[in-house]
Amino acid sequence: MNEQNENAPVVVTDSDHPNLDPEQDVLSSAGLGLRREQCLTAEDVIARCRGAKALINQYAPITAEVLDALPELRLVVRYGVGVETVDIDAATRRGVWVANVPDYGTAEVADHTMALALALLRGVTSYDRSVRSGGWDYQVARPLRRLSALTFGVIGCGTIGLAVAARAAAFGMRVVGADVIPGRNLAGSPITQVDLDELLAVSDIISVHATMARDAAPLIGAQAMEAMRPSAMLVNTARGGLIDTAALVAALDMGQLGGAALDVLETEPATPSVRDALARHPRVVLSPHAAWYSEESYVQLKSEVAREAVRVLAGQPPRCPVNQPKLDRRAEATSTEVHR
């Protein structure tokens, strides 16, 4: 692949993936070129992505200034579910679609969530560390509870939250859920719907699956942690910013929580100070934003962002839009590029 094709209509603003082969396969089949950049700032995107008609975006900020500087742009599609890197209101006003890939790793995230939860609930990491250091004592992880005696709380009852709830129920746990989207229909799920205050008060383990708006305050801060049971455990495979890390460390230090399992952090990669503050607690489990990953989900994600570019540049709406843009501003764009 020629990653320096200056005339390519599809540009990857940034990516930590080792290659773009799945994206290239999809785009080549549609006659579209692809260019890869590694932008860190909005200024980088403006300077390096001129002429782009579709941006595939991972972490680089897509601001109003970026959108104004790229007048041919018709789509920003995010690697993954979250779209907090994109100014969606600005894109909507400027006639630019914003899309994501919400379903590429649902099973993986739900499975990883349960793996983290079970590691806490069954003391797996405590036992592992003890045995590795020469111990052989079941009491190092006390107290452990029978899973069927526990209440599993799900915050955010979307697709992933529902998948996690089904898995928790399969282990015999009572499942309660508080949704951040009022009125969502949970009929047919194992979830008993409660408000957030009740969920915090009754849950033995709380798993966070909410979305997060740009610059939003943490959903779970010091006050929420004070409302939890002292033995409660917290799992986050959604967005790091949903949990106030400093408040979490303080709660763990003071014995206000029974443990935490985190796949995501407010700042990634983890800073040494945050990593060390969390890692010193025997009932903290950490993974490197890997809940989404399997070989299958990896290829699906990369292929689908490219398919969204093909759809939009052919004059169709994306499969998974997160906005409804005012298309009149860029309505003069045609689909001729897909035939080049």
Q: Is 281 known to be catalytic?
A: no
Q: Is the dihedral of CA 128, 130, 133, 137 positive or negative?
A: negative
152 φ, ψ (degrees, to nearest 5): -105, 120
Catalytic residue among 3, 268, 280, 340: 268
Token pair, residue 180, equals 């951040």
268 in catalytic set? yes
Q: Name the nearest CA neighbour of 99 among 128, 69, 137, 56.
A: 56
User: Is residue 167 flagged as an active site residue?
Assistant: no
Distance between CA atoms of residues 123 and 127, nearest Å: 6
Contact 193, 181 (CB under 8 A): no
Q: Which of 104, 24, 118, 59 is nearest to 295 (CA)?
A: 104
Report the 10 Å Cβ neighbour count for 188. Answer: 7
DSSP code, position 304: H
Rounded to whole angstroms, what are the CA distances from 53 to 1, 69, 86, 139, 315? 19, 12, 16, 60, 12
Helix (H) or strand (E) holding 223: helix 222-227
Question: Which of 184, 289, 319, 330 is the catalytic position?
Answer: 289
Take residue 148 and report the two structure tokens written for it: 């069927």
- Report the run of H or E that residue 14 belongs to, with start and end: none
Identify the active-site residue in 209, 239, 307, 311. Answer: 239
Active site residues: 239, 268, 289
